[in-house]
Structure 1
């Protein structure tokens, strides 16, 4: 009689010290656990072997990407149930980047029981787990979707270019499928929950343009310009002269074609360039939308100082950035294994207070902060829906593993924003022209 699910459930609950919150189906067809809701499917013993070779999150990620582990039913509910099992116990766990940085706590929850494989006190459970996994052959090589090595030091120009290429140079057609016609890969700004993604992204770009008070002929530097959406909007709708920079060659080629199609080549220049190499200031305004998560804490002050130096006195910076919650020991913050290996290599999040402090140390006067985390949850759910609706095409455009990575990371990130585990903020900062002045109107929130 098939009994793999019962044996696996018993071991999991022994490690968890609590009932398994989702139903479990094993490779032999057996099922155990709650009769309602989503089902965690272990399609092959190989999933267990991957976890024995890499106990914890990386082994779990490899099993998921390979298709050895899956969820049938509502993925959001499955992640939420697993997260709820651990959230109250471990409120000081470190958060990690997700969409445009974020959502790793939900992913962590799926593998928490498996961390017990490292616990010497769980020796008998580990032995039983190994017996259930079957003969342990040599570890399989990393899948193509995983970034294999990290070369050199973090956040050098070369390492940043390599990391950006891993995430963004996977095919513009794939991003069109996920992001929709706007081709904006950052949090949209929703007037109402039932609005369209395209309208919400247009409203976000317009909100940023108004916060920057863009006027015809002014120079805008768009740092991390992506596929050119902000640059095109600023030039077309506000008459700005725009320089957009990205480290992704595929993004730049796509953005240049869009600029040409819009007839804006006299107003928009797209460069493949590191922000540290921009020397043609001063600019009237700078937008940095979903880019600062890639900078890293060791380089953040340098990033802020470089942007400050590129602005005219009275110039404005709009920094749109995901933030994690602070933890008791900030030195203990670690980048999540799954996110680092499969999604955003070398990405780091900081609490919003840290970001404000570093901008101020660089010389900026921070004038406005708008928290919009609920907007990112809505945005991510739309991206997941786009991916699921075009699943077969997404697989053809990339790979089954890549599509699975994106589905998991975006769904988990949506839940993290909804549950207030990570946030996203727009910070408006000014290069104050002289002591006692700000260059800002008395009522600065004219964009409301």
Structure 2
């Protein structure tokens, strides 16, 4: 009990220092690694049968949940910040998800394009197809496909009017007439159309009931359609992002209602789709991506501060600068842990059943 009280007091002191932007990065990284080690101790169970049993219980429990929870809060945490902030922090394509660094000399822009190319290859895209980009963000993939495959017709679904506005501006600037953007909550959205390819990049982590979600998506697939999914994951176990303790601030401020799936979790939801291929991408790529975002943020603090003052209020700008920096550090430490061999990215290719 005394140890728990001491830990709680230390956590509160660290968070108070963080809010004033007084916590050194080395301390933040060390604390993050300690929390990650604790998560691994909780996640790894004593035997393989017990590990599998726990994963199956998790998968079955998801089927009793809504497709998504707390969607408004999750949207506000990330996607209603002004695009000007993300232009300063992300790469040229505004890809707000893991990039892929072919070698040590690759820039963030190189890595964005490398991952976008990997999607095109693994999703087996061809010119002339109809493509649905579910959870399209700032349109990094939709716009990339529209430029690469001029005869493709791309429909993107995002949950933010700021994202839709940005993508439509990019379409006008690049004279692209083959992109349509819909603002919708995917958990409630319905339509009668069908597509040759459906792609979803880092959206499933915001979802819960994968059975219901995949059933919904399958209705938008033609008979010979393919579904490509990219999500981040842990290689062995799955868990919910829950705000239960003082140290759960990533959940509280950045990932409310989120899920950390396991690398194989979607394989338990093949009622309406069947797996055609499955890949893993080392977590080192995501770690490096987030380190690059952090560098860009640090290089643009003078421009970012007024954005945060307007968004969060003048008195809270310093706190939120510290929070966003710590978020990027935490992402880098998570995916870099154990040389990228604990938390990573999984790619799936599904056929319609």
- Higher share in helix: 2
State the Cα deviation string for residues 52-101 of structure 1 (Å, max 9, x = none).
6xx85xx467525531x6333xx2x4344345657667633359xxxxxx
Q: Indicate the SS of the match to 2:175.
A: coil
Match of residue 408 from structure 1 = 326
1:394 matched to 2:304? The reply is yes
Q: 1:63 aligns with which of 16, 22, 36?
A: 16
Structure exhibiting the larger radius of gyration computed from Cα positions:
1
Q: Does the 8 Å CA contact 1:286/1:311 hold for their aligned counterparts? A: yes
Q: In 2, Cα distance between the equivalents of 1:88 and 1:292?
A: 25
Distance across 2 between alignment mates of 1:357 and 1:158 = 21
2:242 maps to 1:335: yes
Other-structure match for 1:261: 173
Q: What CA distance in whole angstroms lies between the structure 2 residues aligned with 1:64 and 1:320?
A: 36
Partner of 1:43 in structure 2?
none
Q: Which residue of 2 aligns with 1:287?
A: 199
Distance verdict in 2 for CA 1:86–1:156, change over 3 Å: closer
- Cα distance in 1 for partners of 2:36, 2:282 equals 22
Partner of 1:362: 272
Deviation at 1:368, TM superposition (A): 2.5
Q: By how many angstroms is 1:343 displaced?
A: 0.8
Aligned: 1:427 with 2:345: no
User: How far apart, CA to CA, are the structure 2 residues paired with 1:157 and 1:402?
Assistant: 26
State the shift of 1:346 in Å: 1.2
Compared with structure 1, are the counterparts of its residues 84 and 235 closer, same or farther at alpha carbon in structure 2 (3 Å cutoff)?
closer
CA 1:392–1:361 in 2, change beyond 3 Å: closer, same or farther? same
Aligned match for 2:132, one of 194, 215, 221: 221
* 1:426 CA drift (Å): 1.4
Does structure 2 retain, via aligned residues, the 8 Å contact 1:155–1:346?
Answer: no
Could you tell me whether the CA contact under 8 Å between 2:29 and 2:329 is conserved in 1? Answer: no
Alpha-carbon offset, residue 279 of structure 1: 1.2
Preserved contact between residue 240 and residue 259 of structure 2 (Cα < 8 Å): no
- Cα 1:155/1:342, change in 2 over 3 Å: farther
**Residues 5-37 of structure 1: CA distance to partner in whole angstroms, max 9, x if unpaired?**
xxxxxx999947xxxxxxxxxxxxxxxxxxxxx
TM-score, scaled relative to structure 2: 0.80
Gaps of 5+ in 2: 45-64, 309-316
In the alignment, which residue of structure 2 is the partner of 1:91? 40
1:190-209 matches, within 5 Å, as 190-209=101-120
Displacement after TM superposition at 1:159 (Å): 3.7
Deviation at 1:220, TM superposition (A): 0.5
- Equivalent of 2:336 in 418, 424, 431: 418
1:241 and 2:165 equivalent? no
TM-score (norm 1): 0.64
CA distance in structure 1 between the aligned counterparts of 2:30 and 2:103, rounded to whole angstroms? 27
Gaps of 5+ in 1: 1-10, 17-50, 96-153, 433-448
> Which position in structure 2 is the counterpart of 1:7?
none
The 1:79/1:383 distance shift into structure 2, 3 A limit, reads same
Instruction: Determine if contact 1:241/1:268 at 8 Å carries over to the other structure.
Output: yes
Q: 1:400 to 1:15 in 2, by over 3 A?
A: closer
Residues 85 and 371 of structure 1, relative CA distance in 2, 3 Å threshold: closer
Over the aligned positions, Cα root-mean-square deviation in angstroms equals 2.9
